[in-house]
A and B are shown apart, each in its own frame.
Chain A
């Protein structure tokens, strides 16, 4: 990457949900991230880790409880409604479920053209741009007059990607874009995504629960556990040296498509109960399940520390 400029900066982002007077759900609890221009940052974690909430907050589709989202130097949370509306053309989202992410009563052509209309782009050339987008994602131009129910999941996801690209954004949040697709289609869509990201030099926040998918598409990966980042490193490095106990567990739990490895693995064991994101105790979130925990871990939550160049871990036991 020639430019080393940061496009998105997430500062101490928190999202707390007040469930009742005394119960607070801390979905995202103090996340700090920096994404460079043209970089793909993968966010991986299991259900309840807060990755979807994090993705939505990055686009200001969900208002954070505290913290800042800074896009190209501008804090999105301080913008007026009108200014935020105009900023939206620079940041788009691709959703997980292809069947519910497109308006079933609208033609594909309109689905792609209306975002341009709302942002006032490509006046007079909208139809051409729609045709171009459709071609770019591998669909025939006849789609303009067709409706979402006539297409399969993989095709709908391509349309979803085209829709996100319609307003020519610089930043895309992809929220589990291939999880709902068949395996043979996943690879098609992943290839397409990578192609487009490289061609348009898109900055991307790629959220998924499948580490192999995230590793394929991302430059850097952040591992999320119960609202906090526990480890962050480049994709290659994370696979080779995963230092946080949770990351290690995650990787050992993954079943690889290789019986010569799988059949020789020791039995997977993860002791203890996951701690709840509701009124979490002070100290490390992974304490209840950690095999190398110490007393200090119960009292204070560890911060993300750079233990190697470009490799961050939030664990007292890792130096």
Chain B
């Protein structure tokens, strides 16, 4: 295992080259037209409605959106962790290096989770077993997935904690989760997730519950470890700052669909979808002197009561007549930049 610590972020100055280089390689994860619906007494909630994207080897793909946009359900669908009932994957394909995950049975899927694809969540307190010591839980990963002896597993666990920069790791191994701070718990989770050097790490709002300084440390760690292990990352968040710092390419989700997909620099400098533009302009910026923020009007939609036509129509400043009737398909504006919009900002069209 080559864990290189202290990898300076200055060297990822311009990862566009990396991204372009990977264009020709086969993707690690390919999601095609994924649809996950929830069937409840109040109707059908189309949490994920036709989502397609690819994650290339070693890249960080960000999925950004607000609550209810379907980003978490997408992640859970990839690992088939959606509560069923009432949820169900009703269509689409999820391919891990060519293998269709949705066709696997429960046992085969279990072998994928933790080994090929790992996931970390927002609240480590609910994801770590509160009655087991952290060292024990870490060791379990080595014991079950890598088939090491128990004593060796414990040793590896201690070493993982050290790698994640947790102070005094030999003592922390014996700690229970509630005895650790939020940042340390999250680091333990990252350690557990990366123990088996998975191909893909899915991180669902990993730093949302953390303080700003802790968030910076934890994300830095994640970046370094994933870079060293060549693990691709699917990073789900609502924080645009995290996206700017961490991601190579970004998918913006709204009401269960990806409305814009492009590399991170283009997203911030040239957003084409009115929602993306609205989001970026409504953020308070440090150092800016504004009297009012440019806010997006209206409320996020109820997923079981979506309007006909484009889901963003009620809140859109750029809407045209067509937006009332049809939901736009994904169209490519230019190289690697896709959106779902009939009237993109700046009039950008297929080019």
A residues whose Cβ falls under 8 Å from a Cβ of B: 46-47, 152, 154-155, 182-188, 190-191, 194-195, 209, 211-213, 215-216, 236, 239-240, 249-270, 273
Contacts and interface: CB of A to CB of B under 8 A. Distances in A.
12 contacts: A183-B66, A184-B279, A187-B284, A188-B296, A211-B212, A215-B287, A216-B293, A251-B286, A256-B241, A257-B244, A259-B264, A268-B213
B211 A47 contact: yes
Given A212-B283, A216-B284, A259-B264, A187 B296 contact: yes
A186 B282 contact: yes
A269 B6 CA distance: 9
B143 interface: no
B151 interface: no
A263 B294 CA distance: 26
Contacts of A188: 295-297
A106 B23 CA distance: 57
Nearest to A264: B13
A188 to B, nearest CB: 4
A266 B8 contact: yes
A263 B15 contact: yes
Interface in B267-287: 268-269, 278-280, 282-287
Given A46-B211, A213-B284, A255-B244, A183 B238 contact: yes
Interface stretch (B50-58, B215-223, B318-326): B215-223
A260 B300 contact: no
A257 B283 contact: yes
B10 interface: yes
A116 B295 CA distance: 32
B176 interface: no
A262 B13 CA distance: 9
Given A249-B213, A259-B264, 5 more contacts: A250-B212, A255-B241, A257-B283, A263-B245, A267-B220
| 4 A-B pairs with the lowest CB-CB distances in the bound complex, closest first | A255-B241, A187-B282, A187-B295, A257-B240
B298 to A, nearest CB: 9
A51 to B, nearest CB: 12
Contacts of A186: 282
B6 to A, nearest CB: 7
A187 B240 CA distance: 14
Please report whether the interface of chain A is mostly helix, strand, loop or mixed according to DSSP: helix
A263 B295 contact: no
B149 to A, nearest CB: 33
A88 to B, nearest CB: 31
Contacts of A251: 286
A216 B15 CA distance: 32
B282 A184 contact: yes
Contact of A236 (B240, B269, B289): B289
Given A182-B238, A183-B66, A257 B213 contact: no
A266 B245 CA distance: 11
B22 to A, nearest CB: 17
Interface of B: 6-10, 12-15, 66-67, 167, 211-217, 219-220, 238-245, 264-265, 268-269, 278-280, 282-287, 289-297, 299-300
A253 B239 contact: no
A233 B243 CA distance: 30
B286 A262 contact: no
A184 B296 contact: yes
B294 A259 contact: no
A268 B286 contact: no
A264 B220 contact: no
A286 to B, nearest CB: 12
B285 to A, nearest CB: 6
B66 A182 contact: yes
Nearest to A273: B167
Residue among A209, A253, A259, A267 facing the most chain B CB atoms (10 A cut-off):
A259
Nearest to B214: A46
Given A46-B212, A191-B293, A255 B286 contact: no
B257 to A, nearest CB: 16
B58 to A, nearest CB: 16
B283 A187 contact: yes
A239 B286 contact: yes
B286 A254 contact: yes
Given A46-B212, A184-B279, A263 B12 contact: yes
Contacts of B215: 253, 255
Given A249-B213, A258-B244, A263-B245, A239 B287 contact: yes
A183 B239 CA distance: 8
B245 A265 contact: yes
A69 to B, nearest CB: 27
Contacts of B291: 194
Nearest to B8: A267
B278 A253 contact: no
A260 B268 CA distance: 9
Contacts of B283: 183, 187, 212, 257
A100 to B, nearest CB: 17
Given A184-B296, A259-B268, A250 B213 contact: yes
B300 A46 contact: no
Contacts of B216: 252-253, 255, 268, 270
A194 B293 CA distance: 10
Residue among B212, B215, B245, B283 facing the most chain A CB atoms (10 A cut-off):
B212
A265 B212 contact: no
A268 B222 CA distance: 13
